[in-house]
Structure 1
């Protein structure tokens, strides 16, 4: 493919801008890019340079913004992105969207072994999301070991394990401590089997109890749910999208992963059902496509969804257009709860899963049998659903009757 290496910087900026507009970059997203490009053109004009390449772009960032002194600042990352957009189009005639992703950094003495362990677990077939969790826990563990003068895998011993678990418990929730201890067991089993450590420390990792039944799910009342939906402005594309996905979470109780992954193939208009394979369990789920949900989807698809060929229904509204992420969905729910003035006490969940809990609560109030609720929520058994009974028990306190005082009658000196 012929490159654009001999194109003037003005022409390169022009064609790259057109490409970004085709990719539906928003005016807001373009503002910072355009500002950097204007400064780049001025810089090159003063220098008497009429061409562009990556080296020139990095020299511009260094001379104009002292980039190397603070490369991680938000402003400098945005400026670097503007340069990358030009170099990408120059080389490939395409503007790539570069997403900043955090690289896991294990402490140096343990880096090779921990990466080998991660590769081993990847080959065993665990999911990408689980691997990401492994990386977080092991990064913390490697940092802890280094801070406690452990410089080799063979030096790890029981006091280090217990100390790390205690340190984690002091700053994180019980669920995090539970997951951390589980990852350590798998790690130490690997180290022992690979003869990288003389002891099987997996047997000495403390047991941490974390029962789902000990937690009370966060649920909102039906009045609070109505208030949440009422504050969504459905007069614009974003509002149409948000209303449709909120309604799906509220009326059908889908998990965030399944809402984000929902495709047009999942909508069975002829049978008025939504049929999908759940991301968490892999099990098929068939739910009714209620009229209000269907109408909200049609309104969004026809008048709010960007006209792109993506399979997923719910997309980001700003460039780069693409599948919505779980954190975005969480932010949307939180935003409308706050906008509706719904109180969110400390410790109460306020993401899409709380809407799933709220549906379970409403079904319980309507005396829906537990097996039916399990089927609606996509649980494989009623054991998983039984935790929602706690919602009803707590709500029943609001309707508890006052106990009348006992009447004390004396009969022959005996109080009855």
Structure 2
């Protein structure tokens, strides 16, 4: 490889911070996992191609919980993906996934979203609003074409090239129209002079928007917030599943678990007997 692994590790962490908006705790976890993995990797080079054999590392961490192993291997997988994006030819061996229980998503409080929006310029505001009011994946937002937008609906092409129609709030449509009038995109909603904006460009706008109020928020958290808000306000799970573009309602059901968890937390805080119980414990 042209540069040392430590050089790329540092550059990778900067990328995760600036463009992906990862929290300080997550960055620290990635850094520790990569440093640890580098101590055990078997590096095989054939011409310009490099292969990292994770087997010695997997044996070293085999005693850990499945979820912990999955996170550590995922860090290496993301690192190698980054290297390939930088023009290095890299592949992994022994990086097979470990099945772990699904974790609950972390939605953003609507108050925080509104506070961030109140300070945001037009382009940041529109990206956040579309993710929050349409529940889009970042890949879907990048690919959104002008021809798929009407005054009341947006047609989105999701995973497996499946299309779905999502209701568009009148306020969101007005904001979108103001952006179109100002930016004059030709085909895609989000464009530059060089063409369609990248996913990283939109992620960066979300990061900037929430950084002003001291939060690190990802586009996917806004999608979580959309789904959670609908279910907490008694939307049918079948409808939410369709709006999100989930292939199965089983995927959507994780949000119902989150709703139950929040209800329990609110109950424990609000009910007087629960408060008495906390004081006596």
User: In which range does the TM-score fall when normalised by the shorter chain?
Assistant: 0.5 to 0.7
* Structure showing greater Rg: 1
Q: Deviations over 1:240-261 (max 9, x none)?
A: 2222221110101111011111
1:363 to 225, 230, 234: 230
Q: Deviations over 1:51-72 (max 9, x none)?
A: xxxxxxxxxxxxxxxxxxxxxx
* Cα 1:294–1:206 shift into 2, 3 Å: closer
Is the counterpart of residue 145 in structure 1 residue 145 in structure 2? no
Q: Deviations over 1:348-396 (max 9, x none)?
A: xx21111001111211221222112111111111111112234323322
CA shift at 1:295, angstroms? 0.3
Q: Tell me which of the two structures has the higher relative contact order, counting C-alpha pairs closer than 8 angstroms and 6 or more residues apart.
A: 2
**Distance in 2, Cα, partners of 1:298 & 1:209:** 45
2:178 to 295, 299, 305: 299
Is the counterpart of residue 282 in structure 1 residue 161 in structure 2? yes
CA shift at 1:228, angstroms? 1.8
**Distance in 1, Cα, partners of 2:54 & 2:122:** 51
Q: Is the 8 A contact 2:185 2:191 kept in 1?
A: no
1:341 to 211, 214, 221: 214
CA RMSD of aligned residues (A): 3.5
Give the equivalent residue in structure 2 for 1:268: 150
**Distance in 1, Cα, partners of 2:139 & 2:232:** 27
1:258 to 130, 140, 146: 140
CA shift at 1:178, angstroms? 6.4
**Distance in 2, Cα, partners of 1:334 & 1:276:** 23
SS of the residue 1:358 aligns to: helix
Give the equivalent residue in structure 1 for 2:267: 399
* Cα 1:243–1:145 shift into 2, 3 Å: same
CA shift at 1:166, angstroms? 4.7
* Cα 1:251–1:206 shift into 2, 3 Å: closer
Q: Deviations over 1:295-329 (max 9, x none)?
A: 011000002x1x463x111124xxx5321111121
Q: How does 1:44-123 map to 2 (within 5 A)?
A: none
Give the equivalent residue in structure 2 for 1:228: 116
Give the equivalent residue in structure 2 for 1:314: 190
Give the equivalent residue in structure 2 for 1:387: 254
Is the counterpart of residue 353 in structure 1 residue 250 in structure 2? no
CA shift at 1:330, angstroms? 1.5
CA shift at 1:206, angstroms? 8.8
Q: How does 1:244-255 map to 2 (within 5 A)?
A: 244-255=126-137
Give the equivalent residue in structure 2 for 1:122: none
Q: What TM-score does the superposition give when structure 2 sets the normalisation length?
A: 0.64
Give the equivalent residue in structure 2 for 1:134: none
Q: Is the 8 A contact 2:142 2:190 kept in 1?
A: yes
CA shift at 1:179, angstroms? 9.8
**Distance in 2, Cα, partners of 1:212 & 1:260:** 30
Structure 1 stretches of 4+ with a deviation exceeding 4 A read 166-170, 178-181, 205-208
CA shift at 1:145, angstroms? 2.8
SS of the residue 1:286 aligns to: strand
Give the equivalent residue in structure 1 for 2:9: none
CA shift at 1:180, angstroms? 7.6
Give the equivalent residue in structure 1 for 2:106: 218
**Distance in 2, Cα, partners of 1:377 & 1:336:** 23
Q: Deviations over 1:266-318 (max 9, x none)?
A: 1134xx2111221x332111011210110011000002x1x463x111124xx
Q: Is the 8 A contact 1:212 1:387 kept in 2?
A: no
**Distance in 2, Cα, partners of 1:398 & 1:388:** 16
SS of the residue 1:276 aligns to: strand
Mark the runs of 5 or more structure 2 residues left unpaired by the alignment.
1-36, 78-92
Mark the runs of 5 or more structure 1 residues left unpaired by the alignment.
1-139, 182-201, 233-238, 345-349, 406-416
Q: Deviations over 1:203-228 (max 9, x none)?
A: xx697533352x12121111111112
Q: Which has the higher strand share?
A: 2
Is the counterpart of residue 165 in structure 1 residue 61 in structure 2? no
* Cα 1:378–1:146 shift into 2, 3 Å: closer
**Distance in 2, Cα, partners of 1:221 & 1:354:** 10
